[in-house]
Structure 1
């Protein structure tokens, strides 16, 4: 398999899918990355862990419908063109 733009896009799609399927109660809380309500007060910068958790929540919320569409298009392209 050659390294093309299409394979790069497929790899990015797989990474976004991996982030989208992470579940807080089943997986993330077991490794200590569960819901943290003590994010901080005014003027305090959130830590790296809370920023990553916000990114994971945002990807799950915002990218749900676009991921379904992009995954469907990718499957159809793979079926048509191998």
Structure 2
């Protein structure tokens, strides 16, 4: 069976959604400096990240969106 072909992300929101699992992994590994330029500000504006005691972390909303994004990618890998 042929894998579905997905078009490239058409919006900044989609790019951020697709990149959130990687961003979460970088935060977990304490490598926030490796998050692409401009992403942190956008994630903060979307309320997907927050500052907590001088460190960045996913908000509850960010955690839920990250799970959704990761499940989409897992589904794509199986497809």
TM-score (norm 1): 0.37
Q: Comparing both structures, which one devotes a greater share of its residues to helix?
A: 1
Q: Comparing both structures, which one devotes a greater share of its residues to strand?
A: 2
TM-score (norm 2): 0.38
